[in-house]
């Protein structure tokens, strides 16, 4: 049971924020149904192809608009043919003789929409014109290759984010694929508050010893590695091996429901090999890693659900998890970020990888 602006159940989701509702290529001349923070939304393209996002409920008899069709850049309800523009206003009521009055009760709540970087971004609070812009997907510039993937994990948003930015699990859950082959080596992580969230910079990290890393950088070399959480829902991992290898993975997460997260991953890289070759070589490894993560997130999510919530213990090497949860809670309640000076926030920890 969800109402228009209900946030019950979402203990750590920011409702006053932009999320990816779908890839631009998924929204063509047909309506598209999506769920965002538990709220059913219908997407369609209006005048000049601009996308609109309305609550997926006709104002009249509450049929889902997503079973309707697009007519004259409006969405038409299948039941009685009421038509709505991308602004949610009712523009036609078949059979009604009176002048079309703009009664507010006949409007459908609408969500601000912005098409950017190949994504349709939707602002999760209805009937609001937000000041801020969605996250701008960075590019590696010339020579960069980009791959996009959409995956769903049956897990709460913050568990998915923590997983995407967590180092220690890679040597266990992904043993042999990425880390966990050789003897652990002590490194440092510098954790600091950034303007948009929190980041960890790993210092002294050896080249990952998995198959993937050996292919890309046979000679080893110095590793630069950043993990960044960017509010409200982006996990960014950046790797450089020497000067020739550069990887940037943006996992742009959409909280679908309490226990379902949709991830639009944008993987950008630059290596000394042609892009198509790297894709062929890395694809099987990436697929296995993802399947392992999706599995553990699913069983973790099931456990959180059957135990009725979280009961976590953390250690120093849970580098970003607690910060992600804390920042989400703060952002959710609208606590001013200004109170907190970024400087207070930098500290170093040690871990064995």
Residue 95 interacting with a second copy (CB under 8 A):
yes
- Which residues face 136 on adjacent strands? none
Pairing of strands 245-257, 145-153: unpaired
Q: Which of 304, 320, 324, 325 binds a second copy (CB under 8 A)?
A: 304
Sequence-ordered strand ranges (E) for 231-353: 234-241, 245-257, 260-270, 347-352
Q: How far apart are CA 27 and CA 31, in angstroms?
A: 7
In angstroms, give the least distance from the CB of 51 to a second copy.
22
Q: Which residues contact 182 (CB under 8 A, 6 or more apart)?
A: 209
- Interatomic CA distance for residues 159 and 216, integer angstroms: 30
Rule CB under 8 A: say whether 72 interacts with a second copy.
Answer: no
Tell me, by CB under 8 A, how many residues bind a second copy: 63
Q: Nearest approach, Cβ of 61 to a second copy (angstroms)? A: 6
- State how far the Cα of 109 lies from the Cα of 102, in Å rounded to an integer: 14
Which position among 56, 117, 238, 258 is part of the footprint of a second copy (CB under 8 A)? 56
Of residues 91 and 145, the one with the C-beta less far from a second copy: 91
Determine the interface stretch with a second copy among 101-109, 202-210, 260-268, 324-332 (rule: CB under 8 A). Answer: 101-109
In angstroms, what is the minimal distance from the CB of 15 to a second copy? 17
Among 164, 171, 231, 249, binds a second copy (CB under 8 A): 171
Q: By C-beta, is 46 or 321 nearer to a second copy?
A: 321
Minimum CB separation of residue 106 from a second copy in Å reads: 5
How far apart (Å, rounded) are the C-alpha atoms in residues 63 and 65? 6
The answer to whether residue 98 forms part of the interface with a second copy (CB under 8 A) is: yes
User: Rounded to 5 degrees, what are φ and ψ at 159?
Assistant: -70, -35
Candidates 142, 315, 338, 339: give the one binding a second copy (CB under 8 A).
315
- Please tell me whether residue 303 binds a second copy under the rule CB under 8 A: yes
Q: Which of 5, 9, 40, 130 binds a second copy (CB under 8 A)?
A: 40
Which of 288, 296, 329, 337 is the binder for a second copy (CB under 8 A)?
296
Options 121-129, 201-209, 267-275, 309-317: segment touching a second copy (CB under 8 A) = 309-317
d(Cα 350, Cα 348) in Å, to the nearest integer? Answer: 7
Closer by beta carbon to a second copy, 108 or else 267: 108
Question: How many Cβ atoms are within 10 Å of 283's Cβ, its own excluded?
Answer: 12
Tell me which residue of 235, 178, 227, 236 sits closest to 207, measured CA to CA. Answer: 178
By CB under 8 A, tell whether 217 contacts a second copy: no
Token code pair at residue 260: 């379902």
Answer for which of 80, 190, 279, 330 binds a second copy (CB under 8 A) is 80
Total Cβ atoms within 10 A of residue 33: 14
Nearer to a second copy (CB atom), residue 173 or residue 245: 173
**Integer Cα distance of 172 and 112 in angstroms:** 42
Compute φ and ψ for 207, nearest 5 degrees.
-60, 130
Residue partners of 210: CB distance under 8 A and separation at least 6: 174, 176, 177, 178, 179, 181, 285
Helix (H, G, I), strand (E, B) or coil at 311: coil
Stretch that binds a second copy, among 12-20, 23-31, 77-85, 238-246 (CB under 8 A): 77-85
Binding a second copy by CB under 8 A: which of 159, 248, 256, 325?
Answer: 159
Q: Rounded to the nearest whole angstrom, what is the least distance from the CB of residue 116 to a second copy in the complex?
A: 29
Cβ contacts of 79 within 8 Å, gap of 6 or more: 58, 60, 61, 63
Residues in touch with a second copy (CB under 8 A): 1-3, 40, 56-57, 59-64, 67, 77-81, 93-98, 103, 105-106, 159, 162, 166-169, 171-173, 184, 186, 296, 299-300, 302-318, 321, 350-353
């Amino acid at each position: 049971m969800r109402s228009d602006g209900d946030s019950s159940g979402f203990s750590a989701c920011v409702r006053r924020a932009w999320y990816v509702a779908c890839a631009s290529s998924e929204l063509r001349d047909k309506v598209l149904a999506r769920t965002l923070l538990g709220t059913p939304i219908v997407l369609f393209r209006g005048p000049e192809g601009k996308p609109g996002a309305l609550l997926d409920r006709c104002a009249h008899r509450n049929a889902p608009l997503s079973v309707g069709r697009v007519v004259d850049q409006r969405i038409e309800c299948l039941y009685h043919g009421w038509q709505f523009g991308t602004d949610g206003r009712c523009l036609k009521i078949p059979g009604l003789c009176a002048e079309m009055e703009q009664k507010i009760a006949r409007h459908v709540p609408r969500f601000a929409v912005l098409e950017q970087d190949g994504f349709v971004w939707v602002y999760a609070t209805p009937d609001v014109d937000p000041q801020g812009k969605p996250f701008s997907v960075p590019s590696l510039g010339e020579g960069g290759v980009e791959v996009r993937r959409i995956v769903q994990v049956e897990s709460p948003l913050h568990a998915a984010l923590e997983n995407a930015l967590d180092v220690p699990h890679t040597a266990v859950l992904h043993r042999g694929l990425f880390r966990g082959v050789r003897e652990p080596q002590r490194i440092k992580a510098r954790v600091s508050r950034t303007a948009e969230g929190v980041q960890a910079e790993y210092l002294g990290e050896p080249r990952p010893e998995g198959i993937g890393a050996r292919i890309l950088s046979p000679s080893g070399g110095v590793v630069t590695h950043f993990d960044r959480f960017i509010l409200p829902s982006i996990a960014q991992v950046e790797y450089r091996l020497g000067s020739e290898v550069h990887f940037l993975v943006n996992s742009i997460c959409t909280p679908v429901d309490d226990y379902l997260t949709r991830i639009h991953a944008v993987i950008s890289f630059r290596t000394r090999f042609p892009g198509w070759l790297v894709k062929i070589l890395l694809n099987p490894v990436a697929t296995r890693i993802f399947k392992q993560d999706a599995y553990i997130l699913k069983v973790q999510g099931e456990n959180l659900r059957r135990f009725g919530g979280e009961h976590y213990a953390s250690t120093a090497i849970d580098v970003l998890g607690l910060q992600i949860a804390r920042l989400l809670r703060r952002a959710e309640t609208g606590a001013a970020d200004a109170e907190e000076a970024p400087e207070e926030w930098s500290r170093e920890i040690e871990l064995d990888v």
